[in-house]
Amino acid sequence: MADQALPTSGREWHLVARPDGRPTPEQFALREAPVPQLRPGRLLVRNAYLSVDPYMRGRMNDVKSYTPPFRLDEPLDGGAVGRVVASEAAGFAPGDAVLHGLGWREYAVLDAERAVKVDADAAPLSYFLGVLGMPGLTAYAGLLEVASFKEGDAVFVSGAAGAVGSVVGQIARLKGASRVVGSAGSAAKVARLVERYGFDAAFNYKDGPVTEQLAKAAPDGIDVYFDNVGGDHLEAAIQSLRTHGRVAICGAIGQYNDTEGPCAPRNLSLVIGKRLRLQGMLVPDHAALQEQFTAEVSGWLRDGRLHYDETVVDGIEHTVDAFLGMLRGANTGKMVVRLAD
CATH number for the domain spanning 203: value is 3.40.50.720
Do 138 and 121 lie in a common domain? no
> Residue 2: what pLDDT?
41
Domain assignment of residue 11, yes or no: yes
The 10 Å Cβ neighbour count of residue 272 is 8
Do 147 and 88 lie in a common domain? no
Instruction: Give the residue ranges of DSSP H helices in the chain.
Output: 55-59, 134-141, 165-174, 187-195, 210-217, 232-240, 270-274, 290-302, 319-328
> Residue 65: what pLDDT?
84
Do 57 and 157 lie in a common domain? no
Domain assignment of residue 142, yes or no: yes
> Residue 256: what pLDDT?
54
Calpha distance 217→225 (Å, rounded) = 14
Mean pLDDT is lowest, of 65-74, 191-200, 311-320, for 65-74
Q: Please, are residues 181 and 199 in contact by the beta-carbon 8 Å criterion?
A: yes
Calpha distance 310→315 (Å, rounded) = 16
Average pLDDT over residues 235-239: 97
pLDDT tens-digit profile of 78-98?
Answer: 999 999 999 999 999 999 999
Name the phi and psi angles at 321, rounded to 5. Answer: -60, -45
Average pLDDT over residues 103-131: 96
> Residue 100: what pLDDT?
97
Report DSSP letters for 30-82, one per residue. EEEEEPPPP-TTEEEEEEEEEE--THHHHHTS-S--SSPPPPBTSB--B-EEE
> Residue 5: what pLDDT?
76
Do 266 and 214 lie in a common domain? yes
- Asked if the model's pLDDT at residue 3 lies above 50, the reply is no
Domain assignment of residue 302, yes or no: no
Output DSSP code: residue 134: H
Helices 165-174, 290-302: crossing angle, 10 deg rounding = 80
Q: Which of 109 and 6 is assigned the larger pLDDT?
A: 109
Do 237 and 332 lie in a common domain? no
Do 94 and 160 lie in a common domain? no
- Asked if the model's pLDDT at residue 257 lies above 70, the reply is no
Q: Please, are residues 119 and 81 in contact by the beta-carbon 8 Å criterion?
A: no
> Residue 66: what pLDDT?
83
> Residue 261: what pLDDT?
61
- β-bridge partners, 248: 226, 279
Calpha distance 303→56 (Å, rounded) = 33
> Residue 340: what pLDDT?
84
Instruction: Give me the number of domains the chain comprises.
Output: 2
Query: What domain range includes position 333?
Result: 3-130+309-338
Do 88 and 164 lie in a common domain? no
> Residue 1: what pLDDT?
40
- Asked if the model's pLDDT at residue 255 lies above 90, the reply is no
> Residue 64: what pLDDT?
86
Do 122 and 209 lie in a common domain? no
- Asked if the model's pLDDT at residue 341 lies above 50, the reply is yes
Do 88 and 42 lie in a common domain? yes
Do 278 and 154 lie in a common domain? yes
CATH value at residue 14: 3.90.180.10
Residue where a domain terminates, one of 268, 284, 300: 284
Q: Among residues 112, 79, 115, which one has the least CA distance to residue 98?
A: 115
Mean pLDDT is lowest, of 17-21, 133-137, 165-169, 259-263, for 259-263
> Residue 184: what pLDDT?
96
pLDDT tens-digit profile of 30-53?
Answer: 999 999 999 999 999 999 999 999
Domain assignment of residue 176, yes or no: yes
Calpha distance 108→80 (Å, rounded) = 9
Do 249 and 316 lie in a common domain? no
Q: Give residue 262's pLDDT band: very low, low, confident or very high (50, 70, 90).
A: low
- Asked if the model's pLDDT at residue 251 lies above 90, the reply is no
Amino acid code (one letter) for 146: V
The answer to whether the bond into 262 is cis (omega within 30° of 0) is no
Q: Which of 6 and 204 is assigned the larger pLDDT?
A: 204
Please, is 26 exposed, middle or buried when counting C-beta atoms within 10 Å of its C-beta (0-12, 13-18, 19+)? exposed
The mean pLDDT of the chain is 94
